[in-house]
Amino acid sequence: MARGPQYKVPFRRRREYLTDYRRRLKLVISGKPRLVVRKTNRYVIAQVIKAKIKGDETIVSAHTSELRKLGWKYSLKNVPACYLLGLIIGYRAAKLGLNEAILDIGLQRPTKGSRVFAVVKGAIDAGLNIPVSKEKLPDENRILGNHIKEFMEKVFAEVGGENIQFSRYLKMRVNPSDIVEDFKKVKRKIVMEIGGEGWRKRER
């Protein structure tokens, strides 16, 4: 008796490297809200999602493009920007009564100190309980942007102000070496404007 092919065609989203269904099943079975972090060419997006029978329900979301209104002048997908995004999503989740979530990074690699874990660090600092190894979280220097400042100063010392990589900053009259102080200013705004009463109660 003739038999057909002995293989199964993966689901479309798996073939397109968009969804790991085995990992997703484990996350859904947990019954907990998922902190979903996704990157595009220009931005980073964070959402807290709850799995429902009819499909996923987005409870709260945040986008690094929001940082522009808060005074952030730098890249919208670097480590400091991702940490600030995590603060925003964490505070918004807290205001809706959410206090825990599990991380959903899709098919991204869980690289130590990466932008994904910068989002997680910000969300944790905002009060969201997310199970994650502390070793995976970026250190304070990376969160503040010191690595960007040091790299920029090294490049400028070697090639001067003609560096293409920072040409956009120069046109906007933004000095990347100010990134650490600017980060602190934007973080303060997020804490006061979005954290609000919840932040004050936690501080007490």
pLDDT at 3 over 70: no
Split at pLDDT 50, 70, 90, the class of 96 is very high
Mean pLDDT of the chain: 81
Per-residue model confidence as pLDDT tens digits over 99-113 = 999 898 876 677 899
* Alpha carbons 86 and 99: distance in angstroms, whole number: 14
| Domains located in the chain, CATH noted | 18-203 (3.30.420.100)
- Residue whose token pair is 């925003």: 88
> Residue 105: its pLDDT value, please?
80
In order, the DSSP letters of 158-190 are HHGGG-GGGHHHHHTT--GGGHHHHHHHHHHHH
Pairing of strands 102-104, 34-39: parallel
State pTM to two decimals: 0.81
Per-residue model confidence as pLDDT tens digits over 162-203 = 556 666 676 667 777 789 999 999 999 999 999 875 544 444
* pLDDT greater at residue 132 or residue 51: 132
* Alpha carbons 130 and 135: distance in angstroms, whole number: 14
CA nearest neighbour of 59 among 97, 18, 104: 97
> Residue 164: its pLDDT value, please?
60
**90: enclosing H helix or E strand:** helix 79-95
Dihedral angle, C-alpha 113, 114, 120, 123, nearest 10 °:
90
> Residue 196: its pLDDT value, please?
72
Split at pLDDT 50, 70, 90, the class of 152 is confident
Q: How far is CA 8 from CA 15, 29, 43, 78, in A?
A: 12, 24, 35, 39
- Residue whose token pair is 């009819």: 54
DSSP code of residue 74 = S
The alpha carbons of the chain give a radius of gyration, in whole angstroms, of: 20
